[in-house]
Homo-oligomer: A and B are copies of this chain.
Amino acid sequence: MISRTNANSFRKNLELYAERVNTHLKAIIDAQYKSGAPQELIKAMQYAVLGPGKRIRPVLTYASAELLSLKAEQVDSIAAAVELVHTYSLIHDDLPAMDDDDLRRGRLTTHREFNEATAILTGDALQAIAFEVLYSDHFLRKDNAAQIETIGWLAKVSGPKGMVGGQLLDIEAEKGVTDEEGIANIHNLKTGQLIRAAIMMPSELSQITKEAKTKLDEFASLIGLVFQIIDDLLETQQDTAVLGKSSKSDMKKNKATYPSVLGADKSYDRVHKLYDNSMKALDFFGKDANTLRCVADYIINRSH
């Protein structure tokens, strides 16, 4: 669908978008220094947010904005807010009472670099800042009705019927192996819904048709599951150095994963089928979806 030359130029776009959200995230954290917030808390937020990260969710937001003919600056805050929520979830998931991980993105986890109390509060603070970023954004404020909808998306996908609910089910699943439906549900809540929001939130700022919205949502839901199954597969195959987090830690904890229930081969079958369907959903948009296709390509071919 995309020629090799085009693919390279789109790949370059993804790097630019990752840099773009990094710049925006840095500005958000820097602004905290003038706010009267405690230094130690800001340092911990800085450590967690500005560390190395793939920025898949923000890149999806920018690629979705491209498809919707929005300017990148219209969705800067959406991209940042989604990454802030994602980062807060990583900090809390890594805590001793949860997954008890020492490494994340190739560095000490926040509670190991600082301490547990600071890590809990840093996650809490990042969730609040994510909403504040959507509240205060200059571009979003031009249309309060659309702004409210972006806030609604973030609140819904972050809470009990989204990310937090998924994390609870993920922990409970350690008690026993579950079936494919159960894993798909955990993945959908824990990872899928926030990825879906990253792609769908920009649509609130556009005049997209109902049919187009349905197609985009179909892609968003499918690519979220693709992302997570690839993540499961990478966990079983890579070593710690490449992955940047303790590898095989999911297996050690008896986490419910696609390969643990279906085996690697069937998991690859599933992921390719889901990917193919996600591409079909994008057919509707023609070449406007080329950057989104490129992100999807990166997601299915990534090695860490």
A42 touches B148 (CB 8 A): no
Asked if A40 is at the interface (CB within 8 A of a chain B CB), the reply is yes
Asked if A103 is at the interface (CB within 8 A of a chain B CB), the reply is no
A131 touches B151 (CB 8 A): yes
A40 touches B172 (CB 8 A): yes
A164 touches B124 (CB 8 A): yes
Asked if A53 is at the interface (CB within 8 A of a chain B CB), the reply is no
Asked if A36 is at the interface (CB within 8 A of a chain B CB), the reply is yes
Which one of B117, B135, B158 contacts A152 once the chains associate, using CB atoms below 8 Å?
B135
Which one of B40, B97, B148, B167 contacts A147 once the chains associate, using CB atoms below 8 Å?
B148
| In the complex, chain B residues whose CB is within 8 Å of the CB of A167 | 121
B40 touches A161 (CB 8 A): no
Size class of the A contact interface (CB-based, 8 Å): 35 or more
| In the complex, chain B residues whose CB is within 8 Å of the CB of A124 | 88, 92, 123-124, 127, 158, 164
Asked if A128 is at the interface (CB within 8 A of a chain B CB), the reply is yes
A215 → chain B, closest Cβ, in Å?
23
Asked if A206 is at the interface (CB within 8 A of a chain B CB), the reply is no
| In the complex, chain B residues whose CB is within 8 Å of the CB of A272 | none
B127 touches A171 (CB 8 A): no
| In the complex, chain B residues whose CB is within 8 Å of the CB of A118 | 168
Q: Copy number of this protein in the oligomer?
A: 2
A160 touches B42 (CB 8 A): yes
B120 touches A165 (CB 8 A): no
Q: Which residue of B lies closest to A98 (CB)?
A: B117
A144 to B151 CA separation, bound complex (whole angstroms): 12
**Per-residue 0/1 for A26-67: is the Cβ within 8 Å of any B Cβ (1 yes, 0 no)?**
000000100111101110010000000000000000000000
**Per-residue 0/1 for A145-161: is the Cβ within 8 Å of any B Cβ (1 yes, 0 no)?**
10110011011101111
B98 touches A120 (CB 8 A): yes
Q: Which of A80-111 contact B (CB under 8 A)?
A: 88, 92, 95, 97-98
**Per-residue 0/1 for A4-32: is the Cβ within 8 Å of any B Cβ (1 yes, 0 no)?**
00000000000000000000000000001
A119 → chain B, closest Cβ, in Å?
8
Asked if A141 is at the interface (CB within 8 A of a chain B CB), the reply is yes
A37 to B158 CA separation, bound complex (whole angstroms): 11
B151 touches A135 (CB 8 A): yes
A116 to B96 CA separation, bound complex (whole angstroms): 9
* 10 chain-A/chain-B pairs, Cβ below 8 angstroms: A37-B165, A118-B168, A124-B158, A125-B159, A128-B159, A132-B152, A132-B159, A141-B148, A144-B145, A148-B151
Pick the 3 closest A-B CB pairs, nearest first: A128-B159, A37-B160, A97-B116
